Amino acid sequence: KMTIEQKLKSVAVREIIEDKKGTVWFGTSSGLVKYEDKKFTTYTTEDGLQNDDIWALTIDQKGIIWVGAVGGISQFDGKKFSPFALPNKKVENPQHMLSDKLVFKVVEDKNGIMWFATDGNGIFKYSNNTFTHLTDKNGLTDNSTADILDQKGNIWFSAEGFGVYQYDGTKFTQFTTENGLTTNVVQSIFQDQKGQLWFGTWQGISIYDNQKFTNAKDKEPWTN
From the list 125, 137, 43, the residue with the least C-alpha distance to 87 is 125
**What's the pLDDT band for 193 if we cut at 50, 70, 90?**
very high
Q: What is the pLDDT of residue 100?
A: 80
**Percent of residues, the chain, with pLDDT higher than 70:** 92
3-state secondary structure the chain: CCCHHHHHHCCCEEEEEECCCCCEEEEECCEEEEEECCEEEEECHHHCCCCCCEEEEEECCCCCEEEEECCEEEEECCCCEEEECCCCCCCCCCCCCCCCCCEEEEEECCCCCEEEEECCCCEEEEECCEEEEECCCCCCCCCCCCEEEEECCEEEEEEECCEEEEECCCCEEEECHHHCCCCCEEEEEEECCCCCEEEEECCEEEEECCCCEEECCCCCCCCC
Q: Residue 224 pLDDT more than 70? A: no
How confident is the model at residue 161, as a pLDDT? 84
Residue 91 has what pLDDT?
79
- Model confidence at 217, pLDDT cuts 50, 70, 90, reads low
pLDDT of residue 7: 59
pLDDT at 128: 93
Give the mean pLDDT of 173-183: 94
At residue 1, does pLDDT exceed 80?
no
Mean pLDDT of 66-85: 95
pLDDT exceeds cutoff 60 at 61: yes
CA–CA gap between residue 65 and residue 159 (Å, rounded): 25
The predicted pLDDT at position 103 comes to: 92
Q: By the 8 A CB rule, do 115 and 106 touch?
A: yes
User: Over the stretch 23-54, which tens digit does the pLDDT of each residue have?
Assistant: 999 999 999 999 999 999 999 999 999 999 99
The pLDDT mean for the chain works out to 89
- The reported pLDDT for the residue numbered 13 is 93
C-alpha to C-alpha distance for 222 and 224, rounded to whole angstroms = 7
Asked if 157 and 165 touch (Cβ cutoff 8 Å), the reply is yes
Q: For CA atoms 211, 175, 154, 172, give the dihedral sign.
A: positive
Between 6 and 121, the more confident residue is: 121
